[in-house]
Each structure stands twice: as structure tokens, then as C-alpha cells.
Amino acid sequence: MINVEPRCRIILDNDWAGDPDGLIGLAHHALSPANRIIAITSSLTNPMFGPPEGMAQAGADLAEDLLRVLKLPELATVHAGPDTYFTGQPRDNAAARAIIDAVRAGTSDDIPLILVCAGPLTNVADALLLEPGIAALFTLAWVGGSAANEDEYNCYTDPAAARFVLDNQQLGVWQFPLETYRQLVISVAELDYSLKTAGPGGAWLWERFNTVQVPDFVKFGPLWCLGDSAPLVVTGLDDVTCTFEETDSRPSRRTYTGVDSRLIIADFFARLRLHN
């Protein structure tokens, strides 16, 4: 393989017990040599996946299990946050503390720190409330919100957390809203075939997709959105083939309007097969 140099340090936060596309995003980040994961945290899930009690820890357990299957034990410590929504009151918990410690740890090299959140912003809000000074030390890449102000899963799961985080003027934010991350789709047939033929990690992920519990009103169609993988264009890959709008403010506020789905999906399955 051509030697790929690390280009960023990564903190990953997601509701790993929710839609399993988040676990594909975790596997993709873990297998990408262009980034260096320094912390992983797990957040609460939307009630559509069942009562929230215990779901943050269940997500942490799933993420750790996947990393063990991928034979990446050095990454397999995932810190669970609370199962309750952001209250606006300081609360010290394992996920918030892991984020703070990872940001504060610093680095001897000069690669940027990106916190990738593809779920509700609960853990990020808790960390920023506990230690406001960390806001200037990382960039948030968030999968969530809507350019047209539509109801969006990651935002309405914990809207108070989203407001608190996005209102922080010291924080750089690269946002992948609903209209953009919905572009990242794969056919169910390709997803099924590609996972089942990609070794133990693919088989493990295939099982998660085929056993996901959702309410009866959710009906699956011929496509599956892998929106949680959208931030790979600013971490493990490059956004040279993507489009975004950026404000003149500092720190950077950027909204991605287009992502290269083919690049992301092809890179993931190639890395999964090569790893196997």
C-alpha cells in the first residue's frame, strides 16, 4: 500500500445503538490511515429505538465489540454518556470527561483535532459546559440539522444540546445537514452483498443491519442512507470533490452542500476487504 500520512486527530461521538450506519462510520474511521482516533464516546438514542435507559452503554458495548472484531484492541475503549437529555446544568460523566481529556492532551505534531459527531450533540454540550475553554481547540464535524429547518433526527433527539453547541462562537463547525447527508446512499442489494463478502468485520456489520429494531411505522425501501460516513471527506479522505458554503467568520463555519458518495462508499469497502 502507498504510505498515507495522518492528517488529523479524531474524537468520535455517536449513538452507536441507533441506526447501524453509525457503526459503518466507526469502522471506516478506524481503518483509515489518514486519521488518528484519540477518543470514542457513546450518546443516548432517540426513543424510536426503545426506552433510552441503558442505550448509551449499549452503544458503547456495540462499538467496542466491532473494534475487537476488526482486531483493533488499542481503540476498543468507548466512554458512555448519560441516557438523559442536555439540561444546561453541569454534569460530569465519562463521555464528557473523555472529550475534555482528549482535547486537553494536546499533541507534539501539528495536525488538527476534529470531533466527529454523527448523533445528538448531548456529550459535546456537556463537555463544553464543563470546560468552555476547549471550544477553541477543536473543530466540530456534525452530521445533523437541516438547511431548510426541517425536523432532523440528530437535532430533534436533543434540540437543547444542538442549540447550546451551535451557539458557541468560539467553536469551529463543519456541518453536514439533512439535505447533504441524505445524498450518501447505497442500494440494499449492494450493502448486503458487500458486507457479507468482506470478512469478519463485514459479517458483524451485516448482522447489525439485519437485526436492527425499529417501530412498525418504519418501512425499509431499496436504498439505505449511510449519512454518518459523510465526515470522512474531512477526516480519512479529502473534500476536493465536495461542495460547501463557508462564512467569513473565525473560527470556521462551513456547511457542506454536496459529498462524493462514490468516493466514500468505495473507499470503505476497499479498506474493509484489504483489512480482512
Q: Single out the residue of 15, 84, 14 nearest to residue 49, CA to CA.
A: 15
Cell digits of residue 43: 450518546
Task: Walk me through the domains of the chain, giving residue ranges and CATH numbers.
Answer: 8-275 (3.90.245.10)
* CA-to-CA dists, residue 163 to 97, 130, 256, 261, angstroms: 21, 16, 19, 29
CA–CA gap between residue 3 and residue 264 (Å, rounded):
19
pLDDT by 10s per residue, the chain, length 276: 789 999 999 999 999 999 999 999 999 999 999 999 999 999 999 888 888 899 999 999 999 999 999 999 899 899 999 999 999 999 999 999 999 999 999 766 789 999 999 999 999 999 999 999 999 999 999 999 999 988 999 999 999 999 999 999 999 999 999 999 999 999 999 999 999 999 999 999 999 999 887 777 778 899 999 999 999 999 999 999 999 999 988 898 999 999 999 999 999 999 999 998
pTM (two decimals): 0.96
Taking a C-beta distance cutoff of 8 angstroms, is the pair 62, 33 a contact? no
Query: CA-to-CA distance for 153 and 155, rounded, in angstroms?
Result: 5
Spell out the long-range contacts of 247-253 with Cβ–Cβ below 8 A and sequence spacing 24 or more. Answer: 251/136, 251/139, 251/170, 251/171, 251/172, 252/139, 252/172, 252/173, 252/174, 253/172, 253/173
